[in-house]
Every structure is written in C-alpha cells, then in structure tokens.
Structure 1
Amino acid sequence: MPEDPRHKYQLSVFINLNTTVPQVLFSAPGAAADCFGERTESSCARLPAKQSFTCGIETNVLFFCLNQLFTSRGDMSEPTASTKERILEAAGDIFGREGFKAATIRRIAEAAHVNIAAINYHFRDKEGLYAAVLEHVFHLGFTRFPSRGGIETGMTPEQQLHVFIRGMFYRLLSSEGWFGYSGKGRLIARELLAPTPAFENILDRYIRPHKEFLTEILIAIIGRDPGPQILLPLAVSIIGQCIYYAFAAPVIKRITGDESPMEARLDQLATFVWQFSLGGIARITDDQAADRLQPQPPTTPSPTIKP
C-alpha cells in the first residue's frame, strides 16, 4: 500500500482468508498500530520487533480502522500540542457537564474536531483521557495561582494566611482560574463529591501539599503545634469556606438576591473569610491556653424522631 502523502507513516496489510476467521497481519508505526489495537479484540498479539499485530477481526472492523486512519484530518500525523489541547479542553467541558460515565469518546472527538483514533493515540483510552484532563485542570489552576504565590519575606503568619485565602478565591472563582474554563468547576465538584481512582494522583501532587502549607501557617499563627485534632478542623474550615463560595455561588445569589458578579468581590470575600478565620483561631487557642479544654457546646436533649 503506497504511502499517503497526508501522513508520515506507511501501513502494510496482509489478509489470510484460509482460516475460520479472516486473519490480518499489518505492520505500522505507533499511530496506525494504536488505531487497530483499540478497535480489535483481545486476541490481537503484538509483535514488538516489527511493531505489528496479528489479529482475527471481522471485515467491517477492518474497514472502520482503515477509514479512521486514511480519512483523518491529519490529527495523528504529527502529535502537536494544539491537538492535545483541543482534546483536553473539549473533554474537560464534557466530563464536567455529563460526568465520566455519560460522556463518550465520540462526543469528545466531535467537540474537539478530531477523530477517535487521535484520542486513542494521545491518551490510549477513556480512563487515560479523564486522568489527563484532571491533571491538566489542576495544573492550570495551581500554576496560575500557586499555594505560595504572593507570599513575601517578612510577612507575618497572619498576612500569609490572607494571601493564601485570596489565592484560593482567585484559583476557584476568577476568569483566570477554574471559573474561566467551561465545565471545569463542575468536574472538580464531581471529584470532591465522588472521587475516582484518577483523583489519587491529584491528592498527592496538589491537594496534600496545599493543605500542608496551610497547616504550617496555622502553626506559626498559634505559636506552637496544637496537634492534628486542632489543626485539621481549622484547615478544613478555612478551605471549606472558600469552596462553598465557589460551588454554591448560584444558591448564594438566590438567597442574598445579590446578582453582582462574584469575581468583582473576590478581594472582599477573601478578607471576610480571613478575619472570620482569625477570630476562630483566637477563640480556640485562647480556650486552650486557659485550661487546655475545648469549649463545650450547650447541653440539649436529643431530637425526637416522630413515627
């Protein structure tokens, strides 16, 4: 089969009809091999030395693979960053709006203006694409607004906390952060509510270091390490306030009647959460300094469950 001038690879196909199931032997570079590898049954056996497959496939599958390969729009001929970025952007939007199960590779390919084989080439499968989208989204957010971004030498721990909270609001709600990417906020919300296996890598690379830096600031404000039973609720409370403003913004607008853009009030909101958090930290540490006892809630009877 002659080389197609639109592609920088050549595919050789040999068909053996003297078997119960037509047998196909083809030799091709990675892009072509991946197209067939994703579309054929598990009986395909890779021959590493020749970058080949020996497959038992139905004729219609063979024609589909050839059609995908030679009628493509050049998406696989050169693995350019722009192709991957289009796929990641489209997938982030669709995964965010529809969820992992409901989203389809075909729908993502159509939205990204690529063929399905291009997605298989760059990301192998749907799970690989989803993991890459999560990494892409969190990398963008924490690159533009890093946890330690804006922290300067000589700042007090209290000032560092203000910068940390402000960075969270801008990462979550600004047009330069996750709010500016269609579907990305919903994608993150879905992961926080029901984490997938792909979220484990995000926890290790972004979430845990983010939380650990916050606990460093809290220890500096308190003046000692009060232990995880105090630090963890403090950290979760601070982060939780920021996240609620981000993911419950439509509800907050309905409750308050304030239709002004949330982005216009990010500095104001960050300052309020900062002051509120400092007040909570002071109350807890003052009580501990007095008698090392946590404030006890008022004694109230257990609620009665009516039949």
Structure 2
Amino acid sequence: MTASAAETRERLIQAGIRLFGEHGYRATSTRMLAEAAEANIGSIAYHFANKHGLYLAAAGHIADQLRERLAPGDAPDAPTDRDAALDLLREVVRRMVRTFAADDDCRQWLLLVMREQIHPGEAFEILQGRAFGVVQTRLATLIGRLTDRAPDDRRVVLETHTLVGQIVFFLIAREPLLRRLGLEALDATTLAEIEAVLDGHLDLYAPPPC
C-alpha cells in the first residue's frame, strides 16, 4: 500500500469512528464518511469493500489501540509471590486510569464503543475478543492469584468487572467530575489522586501481615 493510500485508509477509519459514534451505523452514509475523510466514495470500496467493512475496521482499530495501551505484549503468568502480583495489578490499574481518564483518543472512541455495548453485534465481538476480553483475563488472573481462586471463578469475574467499572466511569462521567472539582481538565495532580484512591481499593488484596 502506498503512503497516500495508507493515509486515506487511516482518514476513513478516523471518520468512521467519529461518525458511526455520533450518528450510528444506519444514519451514517458513505457520502458522509467520504466527505469527512476528504476522500472519494470509491475509496471505501477499495479499502474496506463496503460501509460494513469500514465499520468493522473502525472497531478493530479501537480494539488494537486499547490493547496496546492496556495490555501490551503477551500476558505474563501471574507471579507466584503475592506482593509481586499486587504490584503488577497496581501497574495495570494505573495504566488503565491514564488511558480512560486522560487519553483524548479514548474519548473519541467512547460513543462507538457505547453503541456496541448497548446493541452488541459483530463489531462488539471484535472489541471483546481483541481488547476487553484480553484485559479482563489479565486482571482476573492477578485477582485470582491474590484471592487463591481460579481466574474464571464467579467471584473473581465479578470483582474484575467491578474494578474495571470504577476506572471506566472516569471516562463515561468525566464531565460531572470536572464540574465537581472545578476543573477544565484532569491535571497530573488529580490523576495521581485518582490512582491513590484506586490503590487504596486494591489494598483489599494485600497479603495479610506475618
């Protein structure tokens, strides 16, 4: 693929993320997508076969970017040492906070992701298989080690989902938080405070004192 073609493909994906998120799949036309990407309509067929292909490519882009930010590389086995496992869990949670609370790209992805959460389809399976499920498994493996349970134990699954929900809420309900704090944006001090709050929650998994 030439540099020009690659740039066109990227613009179409970015336009798809924005327009599919704002208007939904059915209300977004190929003309709207082409105009937003400053490309001709034929380029959609060339790169993605059709609008549906572009929609799936947009979901795949989000999934791959989330996985790169939240779970880079192959997931290591959970350390047998509980202190080391807790340290790794804290590291993963801090990475998630920085992504969901402060990453501008993540805010652009939110609407499309939320639509797929409400009405799961083929794109949701891409998001789940390539991002959500990977992160959930990594967290569950660590929480399972810290609680002496299997990663797929129902309690571990629920605790993992609850932890993820706490963090994602800083993205979904970002504006109410900013209003309450009297801020225009989440600064470094506030992000550190958020991390400290979540660190306090993770103390639940701290090994008991000898």
**Smaller-chain TM-score range?**
0.7 to 0.9
Using the alignment, how far apart are the partners of 2:19 and 2:176 within structure 1? 23
Using the alignment, how far apart are the partners of 2:187 and 2:113 within structure 1? 19
1:96 corresponds to which residue? 21
In the TM superposition, residue 116 of structure 1 has moved relative to its aligned partner by 0.7
> Given the superposition, is the C-alpha separation of residues 144 and 97 from structure 1 closer, same or farther in structure 2, using an over 3 Å criterion?
same
Residue type of the alignment partner of 1:105: T
Using the alignment, how far apart are the partners of 2:151 and 2:69 within structure 1? 32
Residue type of the alignment partner of 1:92: I
Q: Does residue 206 of structure 1 match 2:131?
A: yes
2:186 corresponds to which residue? 262
Q: Does residue 175 of structure 1 match 2:115?
A: no
Residue type of the alignment partner of 1:261: A
Select the structure of larger CA radius of gyration. 1
Q: Does residue 232 of structure 1 match 2:157?
A: yes
1:161 corresponds to which residue? 89
1:131 corresponds to which residue? 56
Structure 1: unaligned runs, 5 residues or longer: 1-75, 287-307
* Moved beyond 4 Å, runs of 4+: 76-79
Whether the 8 Å CA contact 2:143–2:156 is kept in 1: the answer is yes
What percent of counterpart residues are identical?
24
Using the alignment, how far apart are the partners of 2:152 and 2:14 within structure 1? 42
Write the deviation string for residues 84-103 of structure 1: whole angstroms up to 9, x where unpaired.
01111111111122222221
- Equivalences for 1:291-302 in 2 at 5 Å? none
In the TM superposition, residue 244 of structure 1 has moved relative to its aligned partner by 0.8
In the TM superposition, residue 257 of structure 1 has moved relative to its aligned partner by 4.1
Using the alignment, how far apart are the partners of 1:132 and 1:172 within structure 2? 21
Whether the 8 Å CA contact 2:62–2:109 is kept in 1: the answer is yes
Residue type of the alignment partner of 2:60: E
> Given the superposition, is the C-alpha separation of residues 109 and 271 from structure 1 closer, same or farther in structure 2, using an over 3 Å criterion?
same
TM-score, normalised to structure 2, is 0.83
Whether the 8 Å CA contact 2:21–2:112 is kept in 1: the answer is yes
1:82 corresponds to which residue? 7
Using the alignment, how far apart are the partners of 1:100 and 1:268 within structure 2? 38
1:190 to 115, 118, 128: 115
* Structure 1 or 2: more strand by fraction: 1
TM-score, normalised to structure 1, is 0.58
Residues 128-137 or 169-178, more deviating: 169-178
- Name the SS for the 2:25 alignment partner: helix
> Given the superposition, is the C-alpha separation of residues 126 and 275 from structure 1 closer, same or farther in structure 2, using an over 3 Å criterion?
same
Whether the 8 Å CA contact 1:253–1:259 is kept in 2: the answer is yes
Using the alignment, how far apart are the partners of 2:57 and 2:126 within structure 1? 11
In the TM superposition, residue 208 of structure 1 has moved relative to its aligned partner by 1.4
In the TM superposition, residue 145 of structure 1 has moved relative to its aligned partner by 3.9
> Given the superposition, is the C-alpha separation of residues 101 and 274 from structure 1 closer, same or farther in structure 2, using an over 3 Å criterion?
farther
Write the deviation string for residues 10-66 of structure 1: whole angstroms up to 9, x where unpaired.
xxxxxxxxxxxxxxxxxxxxxxxxxxxxxxxxxxxxxxxxxxxxxxxxxxxxxxxxx
Residue type of the alignment partner of 2:93: I
In the TM superposition, residue 215 of structure 1 has moved relative to its aligned partner by 1.0
Whether the 8 Å CA contact 2:116–2:123 is kept in 1: the answer is no
2:40 corresponds to which residue? 115
Structure 2: unaligned runs, 5 residues or longer: none
In the TM superposition, residue 269 of structure 1 has moved relative to its aligned partner by 1.1
> Given the superposition, is the C-alpha separation of residues 245 and 78 from structure 1 closer, same or farther in structure 2, using an over 3 Å criterion?
closer
> Given the superposition, is the C-alpha separation of residues 91 and 227 from structure 1 closer, same or farther in structure 2, using an over 3 Å criterion?
closer
Whether the 8 Å CA contact 1:88–1:133 is kept in 2: the answer is yes
Using the alignment, how far apart are the partners of 2:182 and 2:29 within structure 1? 37
Aligned length: 203
Using the alignment, how far apart are the partners of 2:128 and 2:69 within structure 1? 18
CA RMSD, Structure 1 to Structure 2 (Å):
3.0
Higher relative contact order (CA 8 A, sep 6+): 2
In the TM superposition, residue 148 of structure 1 has moved relative to its aligned partner by 6.5
- Name the SS for the 1:259 alignment partner: coil
